[in-house]
């Protein structure tokens, strides 16, 4: 069942568990994520960046694949189709393409007031159309050109100003970063998270860069108000590891294992297994009907 993400995240926040938001790259990726959600009876968010949508020839293809697979796989658990790190323009495209949820990332705007104005406009439009909306304050760090930046810390007052605009959930930097974490990473800043939550009431918060954060830190973040945990790299790494092992074992040279359905199956099975493990780690298994 395709839904927006507002209800499931409210329920997760009230129930002190986290909902995984997995990034998709193609039809097989989406199918693997849906399989994991149905098997664990968990609500799930499938999300897509502009880059991954470009690879798949557009946001409409991504949304149509999710919608059609939910239907043809008889998926019973709630599924939200969400835009990840959208620009102002991407948000309009995804509303038209049939997404059920959008993220406007105005954290890179030179002026905070631009983030406020765009978020305000998009909240109104998204809610008119029945979509949920995520906004962002304070950039999430990451690796660019081989240099890994320590994650930024969002200003609690700016978070409060964006929360007041009626967003359904909010991404805020608390030392988290995208991509693999460096050995000298300082960890999540829980004081900052508590300060942000104190100013944003019961608004569900989003933990970006969820791949590779130690489980105890994720669960502590959930106890302090995080309800959505973004996972991208972790599924890519498990797909890569299983595919590599299959080829290195020489099994790809046996029989008709050159058939892509056979060649890539170990990788997709690994995605299902990793996604199920994360859903259980976050406590969302069996919560498909919590709201
Ligand atoms: Zn992110």
pLDDT digits (tens, 9 = 90+) for 97-145: 999 999 999 988 889 999 999 999 999 999 999 999 999 998 777 654 4
- Give the Å distance between the CA of 20 and the centre of ligand 1: 13
204 touches 13 (CB < 8 A): yes
pLDDT, residue 290, reads: 77
pLDDT, residue 143, reads: 58
Mean pLDDT for the stretch of residues 267-288: 97
pLDDT per residue as tens digits for the range 161-174:
999 999 999 999 99
Please name each of the domains of the chain with its CATH number. Answer: 2-238+274-281 (3.20.20.70)
pLDDT, residue 139, reads: 75
- Give the Å distance between the CA of 245 and the centre of ligand 1: 29
Residue 38: how many other CB atoms lie within 10 Å? 18
pLDDT, residue 148, reads: 53
pLDDT, residue 195, reads: 97
Residue list, CB under 5 A from ion ligand 1: 208
Q: So which residues are the catalytic ones?
A: 84
pLDDT, residue 150, reads: 64
68 touches 61 (CB < 8 A): no
- Give the Å distance between the CA of 229 and the centre of ligand 1: 10
Does 146 score more than 80 pLDDT?
Answer: no
- Give the Å distance between the CA of 230 and the centre of ligand 1: 7
Does 281 score more than 70 pLDDT?
Answer: yes
């Amino acid at each position: 069942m395709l839904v927006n993400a507002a209800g499931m995240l409210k329920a997760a926040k009230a129930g002190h568990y986290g909902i995984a938001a997995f990034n998709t790259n193609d039809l097989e990726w989406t199918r693997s994520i849906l399989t994991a959600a149905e098997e664990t009876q968990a609500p799930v968010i499938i999300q897509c960046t502009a880059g991954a949508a470009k690879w798949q020839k557009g946001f409409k293809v991504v949304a149509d694949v999710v919608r059609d697979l939910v239907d043809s796989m008889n998926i019973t658990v709630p599924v939200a189709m969400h835009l990840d790190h959208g620009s102002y323009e991407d948000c309009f495209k995804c509303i038209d393409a049939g997404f059920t949820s959008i993220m406007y990332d105005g954290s890179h705007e030179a002026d905070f007031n631009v983030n406020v104005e765009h978020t305000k406009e998009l909240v109104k439009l998204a809610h008119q159309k029945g979509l949920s909306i995520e906004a962002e304050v304070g950039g999430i760090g990451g690796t660019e050109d081989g240099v890994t930046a320590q994650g930024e810390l969002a200003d609690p007052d700016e978070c409060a100003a964006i929360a007041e605009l009626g967003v359904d959930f909010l991404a805020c930097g608390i030392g988290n970063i995208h991509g693999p974490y460096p050995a000298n990473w300082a960890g999540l800043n829980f004081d900052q998270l508590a300060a942000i939550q104190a100013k944003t009431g019961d608004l569900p918060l989003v933990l970006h860069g969820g791949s590779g954060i130690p489980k105890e830190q994720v669960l502590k973040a959930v106890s302090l108000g995080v309800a959505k945990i973004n996972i991208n790299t972790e599924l890519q790494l498990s797909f890569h590891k299983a595919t590599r092992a299959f080829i290195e074992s020489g099994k790809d040279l046996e029989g008709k294992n050159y058939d892509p359905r056979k060649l890539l199956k170990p990788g997709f099975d690994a995605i299902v297994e990793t996604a199920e493990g994360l859903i259980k780690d976050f406590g969302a298994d069996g919560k498909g009907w919590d709201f």
